């Protein structure tokens, strides 16, 4: 399956999601092929840190501007793309079986998601292949009294032709620390809240 993790706005956490998801899949025994089409190269850089620190399993992330490398049909393929590479983004969308859109809890991020969905429709125009679009609240508020995450999820549920994943990833320091060390959140601290929530998130994505 070709999965594209994308968002128009920077700071949405797509590289963190891509990295943790790739390591989770490797730990589940899947072959993973990973590409970073974002000029910031965060996904690529954290994989390099992981390699330098000799963490296992090793993850190779190819830094490319366009899909110049043949995709392995037997692998779980992950593309991390951003708006800074619009051509690469559109090309990845055209190849995708599924798009995952992390959405931080704010109204501007909901607006950006709406604009991104328009780009997806334009990129897929004339294509018959089925595309699954999954949105979820990322970097959600940890305090139950803060309503922005609930409000954002409610707004996402009004968007057409998308699946809103109820599993959220929360704004936790452990995600930043894990990326700086080249470790997935569940490797850094097994049994932590961040570890458990990511495991639930990944299982929901790959439950079939």
Closest CA to 65 of 87, 45, 44, 48: 87
Q: How many other C-beta atoms are found inside a 10 Å radius of the C-beta of residue 162?
A: 18
Percent of residues, the chain, with pLDDT higher than 90: 89
- Return the SS3 of 32: strand
**Global confidence as pTM:** 0.96
Cβ-contact 162, 134 below 8 angstroms: yes
Please tell me the predicted confidence (pLDDT) of residue 207: 82
Closest CA to 37 of 82, 94, 77: 82
**pLDDT band for position 187 (50/70/90)?**
very high
Q: Name, in order, each residue with C-beta under 8 angstroms of 171's C-beta and a sequence gap of 6 or more.
A: 139, 140, 141, 142
pLDDT tens digits, 89-117:
999 999 999 999 999 999 999 999 999 99
Closest CA to 65 of 90, 45, 46, 48: 90
CA distance 82 to 114: 15
Q: Which CATH class is domain 2-205?
A: alpha beta
Please tell me the predicted confidence (pLDDT) of residue 208: 65
Please tell me the predicted confidence (pLDDT) of residue 124: 96
Cβ-contact 164, 150 below 8 angstroms: no
CA distance 127 to 94: 8
Q: Mean pLDDT score of the chain, rounded to an integer? A: 95
Give 120's strand partners: none
Please tell me the predicted confidence (pLDDT) of residue 3: 97
Mean pLDDT of 148-172: 97
Please tell me the predicted confidence (pLDDT) of residue 123: 95
Mean pLDDT of 128-145: 93
CA distance 34 to 78: 5
Tokens of 207: 């439950």
pLDDT tens digits, 44-94:
999 999 999 999 999 999 999 887 778 888 999 999 998 899 999 999 999
């Amino acid at each position: 399956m070709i999965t594209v993790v994308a968002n128009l706005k920077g700071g949405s956490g797509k590289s963190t999601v891509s990295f943790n998801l790739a390591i989770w899949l490797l730990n589940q025994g899947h072959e993973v092929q990973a590409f970073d089409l974002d000029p910031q190269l965060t996904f690529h850089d954290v994989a390099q840190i992981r390699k330098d620190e000799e963490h296992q399993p090793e993850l190779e992330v190819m830094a490319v501007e366009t899909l110049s490398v043949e995709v392995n049909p037997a692998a779980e393929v992950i593309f991390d793309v951003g708006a800074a590479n619009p051509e690469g983004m559109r090309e990845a969308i055209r190849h995708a079986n599924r798009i995952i859109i992390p959405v931080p809890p704010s109204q501007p991020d909901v607006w950006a998601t709406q604009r991104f969905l328009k780009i997806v429709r334009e990129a897929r125009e004339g294509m018959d292949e089925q595309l699954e679009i999954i949105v979820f609240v990322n970097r959600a508020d940890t305090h139950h009294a803060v309503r922005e995450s609930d409000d954002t999820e409610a707004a996402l549920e009004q968007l057409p032709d998308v699946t809103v994943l109820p599993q959220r990833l929360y704004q936790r320091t452990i995600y930043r620390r894990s990326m700086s060390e080249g470790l997935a959140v569940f490797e850094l601290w097994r049994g932590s809240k961040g570890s458990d929530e990511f495991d639930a998130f990944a299982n929901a994505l790959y439950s079939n």
